[in-house]
Amino acid sequence: MGHDVNGQIDFHRLGGVLRALALLASMSVTGQGIAAPPEMPWNMPAEHIGVATCAGSNCHGSARPFDDSPVLQNEYFTWQRKDAHSNAYKLLLTPESKRMAANLGIGKPEEATECLTCHSDYVPESKRGRRYSLSEGVGCEACHGGAEDYLGPHVTGNSHQENIADGLYPLVDPIDRARLCLNCHMGSTDKPIDHRMMGAGHPPLEFELDTFTNIQPPHFRVDADYKRRKPYAPPAKTWAIGQLIAAEQFLSGLRSDRMKAEGMFPELVFYDCNACHHPMRPPRWSEGAGGPLGPGKVRLADAYLVMSGHVIAALAPTLAASWQSALDALHFASQRSVGAIQSDAAALAGLVAQALDRLRDQSISDAQAIDLMRRIADSGVKGDAADFTAAKQMFYGLEALLAQVGASDKALAVRLNPPMDALFKTLDAQAQYDPSQMRAGLKQVQQILAQKAG
Ligand code: HEC
Ligand code: HEC
Ligand code: HEC
Ligand code: HEC
């Protein structure tokens, strides 16, 4: 049985098995030092030449995987037939999108920058090649970078590093990958989304790097050959990096002009949706919910920050005390002014950068992964599971960590399966979300992990 909170693909246990196999020869990702982060694909100079250019039958458009090639070569069909990204533009033609665009007064959604920026490979006209088409949605080059300069050389058997030097975006590094995905899956200054759009009908955005990497229908195979060619990050590391980068992007959003909405309210997209949107009966606020502010406050959406706190406490413990006090300060600042929020967000962003520096070249042991699972369960039981979005992140985190730990401790994986199933069910529908059920499931996780220690 798989757990797919997004309700589409029954992936997770299968992914878990595949990842468990991959883990047998796991190695840690080697960092790139403190080099400047690469430009995002839409800001790189290269022309985007269109999916059709990549999809030749001798290239990435083979109907079946090649036997004698390190890469599958049927990436196009996987993307075209199974991957939601190939449908991203078509979503803009639906009645749902028309209604949303009408609510916003932005004309046709399929022609509006506000939507195309995330629902297509949106680059300026000057960078659109002959076979480029917006209607391809989130095509190969939206993630891999414009192919103008690497197209020729990369078919001659260049190394991955050489391709990157020619303009291929370095997706294999979890830090760079998370930064890219989150532009569209959280929103950013380049690709903004706000509460007005959500009010007009856009679904709220969420992301977890390990889970979303696994539910994207795989067009690459992480086998021994892949690991010879490329560095590979196991699930626990991918999860931890993903949380820190999500924290980085969230804090950078708080510090940007996007936060300064007009009028008396700051931009609400950065606040916890459930602080304002949830049924009022039965009352569900409980001690510990929502950080240090107490009942009745509009809180910032701190799910990624809380998770990053666990990562820091477990893996960069000398930063833990500063992190906790800076996070509390940010919560109090959120009740005062945008200026106060922005300066406290800067302090937290500095700590994220330090934590990333330490984590980059560190691998996460099974004992550390179990410690992280305990921390997640403990904080959920104490109150952090009150908010649906945070609860979902807890579940994703436990799954990713378990994918690593369960590979060597099958008995633990078997024992944790029933409470994980129960947690999954409580997260099935946001409208019916019951924090007390979530806490009950997390208590079982706590108990099983405690038995393991004893
Ligand atoms: C910041 C990037 C971003 C922007 C801007 C954006 N979207 Fe989306 N949109 C997404 C992502 C990511 C998803 C998929 C969410 C998921 O499944 O996790 C999505 C999902 C959707 C869906 C599917 C809804 C559903 O319930 O399945 C529709 C429809 C949609 N967007 C329309 C629009 C329209 C219309 C606009 C412009 C007004 C727009 N989007 C702007 C990123 C964006
Ligand atoms: C939503 C982002 C995204 C899109 C869209 C996308 N890819 Fe990928 N692709 C990835 C990620 C992530 C990886 C794994 C990282 C890596 O191996 O470098 C990857 C890996 C690959 C690999 C390397 C496989 C290997 O074994 O080294 C190839 C080849 C590839 N993609 C081709 C394509 C083609 C062709 C398309 C369009 C039809 C496409 N991708 C669309 C994200 C994407
Ligand atoms: C240019 C914007 C963009 C980028 C970059 C991007 N995505 Fe997406 N992604 C979208 C949109 C838009 C959708 C919704 C498409 C749909 O539902 O048809 C989506 C959907 C998805 C889904 C399906 C979600 C669901 O609810 O089933 C997954 C998984 C996903 N993306 C993973 C990733 C990963 C992993 C990366 C980074 C390697 C990434 N995406 C990069 C825009 C983007
Ligand atoms: C400070 C309180 C507050 C926060 C935080 C907040 N909202 Fe809202 N939201 C509102 C108000 C007020 C309205 C307008 C209600 C109305 O039109 O009846 C609204 C309207 C909406 C609507 C349209 C409702 C409808 O009936 O059509 C959606 C959808 C929505 N918000 C989603 C979100 C999401 C997603 C988040 C988190 C990213 C969020 N909101 C955060 C106060 C908030």
* Ligand 2 close to Cβ of residue 172 (< 6 A): yes
| Residues 339 and 451 occupy one common structural domain | yes
* Ligand 2 close to Cβ of residue 215 (< 6 A): no
| Residues 198 and 53 occupy one common structural domain | no
- Omega before residue 174 within 30° of 0, cis: no
| Residues 363 and 309 occupy one common structural domain | yes
**Mean of pLDDT values over 374-383:** 94
Note down the domain range covering 49.
Answer: 39-169
| Residues 119 and 258 occupy one common structural domain | no
| Residues 181 and 104 occupy one common structural domain | no
Domain count of the fold of the chain? 2
* Ligand 1 close to Cβ of residue 5 (< 6 A): no
Q: What is the pLDDT of residues 257-283, one digit of tens each?
A: 999 877 788 999 999 998 888 877 777
Final residue before a domain boundary, out of 169, 184, 217? 169
* Ligand 1 close to Cβ of residue 154 (< 6 A): no
| Residues 397 and 384 occupy one common structural domain | yes
| Residues 14 and 133 occupy one common structural domain | no
Note whether 233 and 162 are within 8 A (CB): no
**Mean of pLDDT values over 142-156:** 88
CA-CA-CA-CA torsion sign (216, 219, 224, 225): negative
| Residues 164 and 175 occupy one common structural domain | no
Final residue before a domain boundary, out of 144, 169, 194? 169
Mean pLDDT of the chain: 89
How many angstroms is it from 202 CA to the middle of ligand 1? 6
| Residues 31 and 49 occupy one common structural domain | no
Among 169-183, 288-302, 347-361, name the one with the lowest average pLDDT: 288-302
- What local confidence, expressed as pLDDT, does residue 10 receive? 37
Q: Could you tell which of 144, 158, 216 is best to mutate to test the pocket of ligand 2, judged by most ligand atoms within 8 Å of the CB?
A: 144
Measured in whole angstroms, how far is the alpha carbon of residue 110 from the centre of its chain? 25
Final residue before a domain boundary, out of 120, 143, 169? 169
| Residues 240 and 297 occupy one common structural domain | yes
How many angstroms is it from 290 CA to the middle of ligand 4? 18
Say what percent of the chain tops pLDDT 70: 92
Q: What is the pLDDT of residues 75-109, one digit of tens each?
A: 898 999 999 999 999 999 999 999 999 999 999 99
| Residues 5 and 98 occupy one common structural domain | no
| Residues 119 and 9 occupy one common structural domain | no
How many angstroms is it from 322 CA to the middle of ligand 3? 34
Of 318, 322, 409, 426, which is closest to residue 366 (Cα–Cα)?
Answer: 409
pTM metric for this prediction:
0.93
